[in-house]
Amino acid sequence: MFKGLGGLGDMSKMMKAAQEMQDKYGALQEELEAQTVTGESGAGLVKATATLKGELKALDIDPSIFVASEKEVVEDLILAAIKDAQSRAQEKMQAEMQRMMGDMGLPPGFKMPF
């Protein structure tokens, strides 16, 4: 009479697992917004700090580089530091995503559907 209901239990387990995965993914997103990395250029004369999602949070510029005739150099150093911070953020974010997927038993390279 209820012979076909065994599949509903499996479906319930799959839905629960999907919800758990979505919850973990949400927690990871919050973690990525909280963690920061710092990129630099000009041997540390310019430093940019960004979240792992790539949002720029801080910029530190050594005052010794403020020479009016070197304006273009300063601009280039600022851009380089920002790009370095964003690149480091992307690398660390990917590593965190792979770690989370491994913790959930998902294969490397698995794409999250949500």
Q: Any long-range contacts for 16-21 (C-beta under 8 Å, 24+ apart)?
A: 21/104, 21/112
Q: Count the domains in the chain.
A: 1
pLDDT at res. 105: 74
28: in domain: no
6: in domain: no
pLDDT at res. 1: 46
Split at pLDDT 50, 70, 90, the class of 6 is: low
At 74-114, the pLDDT tens digits run: 999 999 999 999 999 999 988 888 887 787 777 766 665 54
User: What is the pTM (predicted TM-score) of this model?
Assistant: 0.69
8: in domain: no
88: in domain: yes
Residue 101, C-beta contacts closer than 8 angstroms, at least 6 positions apart: 107, 108, 110
- Domain holding 54, by residue range, is 38-103
Give the closest residue to 39 by CA, choosing from 22, 18, 20, 56: 56
64: in domain: yes
80: in domain: yes
Any idea what the CATH number is for the domain that residue 77 is in? 3.30.1310.10
21: in domain: no
At 8-25, the pLDDT tens digits run: 667 788 888 788 878 888
10: in domain: no
